[in-house]
């Protein structure tokens, strides 16, 4: 079944099909229509869930932490400064190994105040330990939400599903709805190994000593550093787990096959443009134009950003003539975060290509296809001029 709806509705529908049991909601543009739609699903009894309006984003994540600790499938959504307000609780949710799922409708961060799109909000939280998935269109939003619930409960690590504010959250596109029976077969009920149970009292996340120690039953319990090591190892292992989940979803629903990266006209490409989100699809129009002019170029989107899929990225980019990374985020005082991660992944390869970084679209600045065309033309013909200094598109000084 196909429908034409907004990206926020696509996300909300994915949450409904996943049978979330607790939804914590606090409004913030451009995420608000997502939780509003979920409230309609709950009110109409299309979704059997507790819908909990709260007084802040910090409280929204606190509700999800409590619900997940009690054994319920929990969801929330936010944007921009709301995500930043959650920061403490984001660390807590992942440290407690809770399979919470959250959508982030990407928006620029204040100050100065902005309600327009870039990706600096979720990028600023890339090191809290959450898994991060990015969607390029509405179909990927709904499918990623469903797969996120499966991934989160498979590895006991929370997952962010990120998509561009307005460009995806508020635009209307056709997308296919998987059937409820398909989703139920794909996503088993949430049955955590450890959860709050009055019949079996226990302590959760008490103060941890620096060293290992024996528990009340004599079992040696990990110290803080072991807990962090285990999280890191499980995050790395989530790459293989997500690959298997995506393959199973493709088998059941007919969509998938690109869990980490998605390539367009890259088979014979000498030069590859790299981006995250809807920008990668805008770049496809540029690639088609340049192909008509005889340039062998392609575009690759990164769809899982944390854990970083370095193996897939190295396989796709090593040996190319050049790589140009376009991103709507900046690690202040350094470079674009995606650029830095790709450069690090390719570092040990003797056939690593020269890489150039472009920063664009911050705070919703219009990204013109003609600007992308000029940037790619210049970069593909001036590889010897590549350096670590980010170039800016659309900057007016």
Interacting residues of 350 by C-beta distance below 8 A, sequence separation 6+: none
Q: What band does 245 get if pLDDT is binned at 50, 70 and 90?
A: very high
Tokens 């696509």 label which residue? 10
Domain at 2-186: CATH architecture? 3-Layer(aba) Sandwich (3.40)
At residue 288, the pLDDT reads 98
Cβ–Cβ < 8 Å for 166, 131:
no
At residue 97, the pLDDT reads 95
Tokens 């770049």 label which residue? 283
Angle (CA) 29 35 39, round 5°: 140
Cβ–Cβ < 8 Å for 168, 104:
no
In tens, the pLDDT along 250-302 reads: 999 999 999 999 999 999 999 999 999 999 999 999 999 999 999 999 999 99
**Phi, psi torsion values for 172, nearest 5 degrees:** -110, 130
For the chain, give every domain's residue range.
Answer: 2-186, 261-392
Please state the rounded mean pLDDT for residues 306-323. Answer: 97
Would the pLDDT of 201 be above 90?
no
Instruction: Pick 189 or 161 by higher pLDDT.
Output: 161
In tens, the pLDDT along 60-91 reads: 999 999 999 999 999 999 999 999 999 999 99
pTM: 0.96
At residue 80, the pLDDT reads 98
CA distances in angstroms from 356 to 110, 131, 327, 359, 360, listed in the order given = 28, 26, 11, 10, 13
Which of 385, 269, 386 lies closest to 339 in space, CA to CA? Answer: 386
Pick the CATH number of 261-392 from 3.40.50.920, 3.40.190.10, 3.30.1240.10, 1.10.10.10: 3.40.50.920
Distance separating alpha carbons of residues 259 and 246, to the nearest angstrom: 6
At residue 195, the pLDDT reads 74
Q: What band does 46 get if pLDDT is binned at 50, 70 and 90?
A: very high
């Amino acid at each position: 079944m196909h429908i034409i709806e907004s990206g926020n509705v696509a996300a909300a529908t994915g949450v409904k099909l996943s049978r979330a049991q607790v939804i914590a909601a606090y409004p913030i543009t451009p995420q608000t229509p997502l939780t509003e739609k979920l409230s309609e699903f709950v009110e109409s009894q299309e979704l059997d869930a507790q819908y909990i309006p709260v007084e802040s984003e910090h409280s929204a994540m606190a509700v999800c932490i409590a619900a997940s600790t009690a054994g319920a499938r929990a969801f929330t959504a936010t944007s921009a400064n709301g995500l930043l307000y959650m920061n403490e609780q984001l660390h807590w949710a992942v440290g407690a190994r809770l399979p919470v799922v959250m959508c982030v409708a990407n928006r620029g961060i204040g100050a100065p105040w902005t309600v327009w799109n870039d990706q600096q909000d979720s990028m600023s939280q890339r090191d809290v330990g959450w898994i991060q998935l990015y969607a390029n269109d509405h179909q990927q939003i709904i499918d990623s939400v469903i797969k996120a619930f499966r991934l989160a409960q498979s590895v006991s690590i929370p997952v962010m599903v990120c998509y561009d504010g307005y460009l995806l959250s508020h635009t209307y596109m056709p997308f296919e709805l998987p059937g409820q029976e398909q989703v139920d077969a794909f996503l088993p009920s949430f049955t955590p190994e450890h959860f709050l149970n009055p019949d079996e009292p226990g302590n959760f996340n008490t103060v941890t000593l620096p060293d290992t120690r024996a528990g009340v039953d004599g079992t040696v319990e990990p110290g803080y550093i072991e807990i962090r090591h285990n999280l890191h190892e499980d995050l790395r292992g989530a790459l293989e787990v997500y690959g298997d989940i995506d393959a199973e979803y493709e088998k059941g629903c007919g969509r998938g096959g690109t869990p980490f990266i998605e390539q367009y006209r890259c088979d014979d490409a000498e030069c590859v443009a790299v981006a995250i989100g809807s920008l990668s699809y805008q770049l496809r129009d540029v690639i088609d134009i340049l192909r008509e002019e005889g340039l062998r170029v392609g575009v690759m989107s990164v769809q899982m950003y944390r854990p970083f899929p370095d193996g897939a990225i190295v396989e796709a980019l090593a040996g190319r003539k050049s790589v140009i990374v376009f991103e709507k985020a900046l690690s202040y005082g350094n470079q674009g975060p995606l650029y830095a991660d790709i450069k690090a992944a390719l570092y040990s390869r003797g056939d690593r290509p020269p890489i150039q970084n472009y920063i664009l679209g911050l705070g919703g600045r219009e990204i013109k296809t003609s600007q992308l065309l000029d940037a790619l033309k210049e970069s593909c013909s001036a590889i010897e001029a590549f350096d670590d200094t980010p170039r800016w598109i659309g900057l007016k000084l």
